[in-house]
Amino acid sequence: MKKKPFTYTKPALIEKLKEIAAMGFIPNARRGNAGGIGNTLEDLLGIKENNLPIPNAAEWELKTQRLNSTSLTTLFHIEPSPRAIRFVPQVLLPKYGWAHQEDGKKYPKGEMSFRQTIHGQSRSDRGFMVIIDRKERKILISFDAESADIRHKKWLESVKKRVGLGELNPQPYWGFDDLKHKAGTKLLNTFYVQAEVKTKRKKEYYHYTKVMMLQKFSFEGFLKALEEGKILVDFDARTGHNHGTKFRMRQDCLPMLYEKSIVVIQ
């Protein structure tokens, strides 16, 4: 006889999470500490790979995060338009890149790098910034040579020779509709669980102390988080490999990206 798939109702899941919170610090269920915080909670809930088995028309998932972490969480990968140009390897890297620190060592002589983590609140030390154009419904990448730090004077001189010091032309961008679709398919309704972490004899222990229910992705909240520097655009490319363009999130800003948030455990 085929085993019936296990399911939670939302109230039953909330009760289970409260029980887990009351258990205090729980040892990491995995060897090594990478990914242990999510894996351990999945084991306690009896589920697999963040997929919450809730019988509901809307999809739900489980997201876990360490409390007081400074690390960024990757939301999704998406390359900028215009799509006719592979913008990062064909424009940003050859025209605005700089010598890779492993140039001529780990990588071949002439290896270039373009690594920038930028947002909409202020310009980076090399003059790059995210601009949100609500009228044109685009998120653009902008360059302003005058905003670059004096430390990068030699690099600016090389950019001037390669392409000039004006604005990027064309400017790489993401259309609102494309980005809204991408984010909306990645940011499902979520049980957002945060844990205190301590280490004892090289083993991690987790106390799951904060839980929120986050419902209905808000694109306006996403744009606001970009403008406030809470979501960042991360370029990570070198001559030999483009690691992909990512949208990444700072600690604690996930609730901004949803229309409705309910505190389950505080």
Q: What is the pLDDT of residue 1?
A: 40
Q: pLDDT in tens for each of the 266 residues of the chain? A: 444 456 788 888 899 999 999 999 999 987 766 678 888 998 898 887 656 666 554 578 888 888 988 888 889 999 999 987 899 999 999 999 998 887 777 888 888 899 999 999 999 999 999 999 999 999 999 999 999 999 999 999 999 999 999 999 999 999 999 999 999 888 888 899 999 999 998 889 999 999 999 999 999 999 999 999 999 999 999 888 889 999 999 988 999 999 999 999 88
CA 258 to CA 224: how far, in whole Å? 12
Q: What is the pLDDT of residue 226?
A: 96
CA distances from 222 to 1, 3, 26, 42, 215 (A): 46, 41, 33, 27, 14
Q: What is the pLDDT of residue 162?
A: 96
Q: What is the pLDDT of residue 2?
A: 42
CB environment 23-53: b (16+ within 10 A), e (fewer): eeebebeeeeeeebbbbbbbebbebeebebe
Please state the pTM of the whole predicted model.
Answer: 0.85
85 Cβ neighbours under 8 A, 6+ residues apart: 91, 170
Q: How many CA atoms lie within 13 A of 120 on its CB side?
A: 17
Q: What is the pLDDT of residue 196?
A: 94
Bridge partners (DSSP) listed for residue 125: none
Q: What is the pLDDT of residue 53?
A: 67
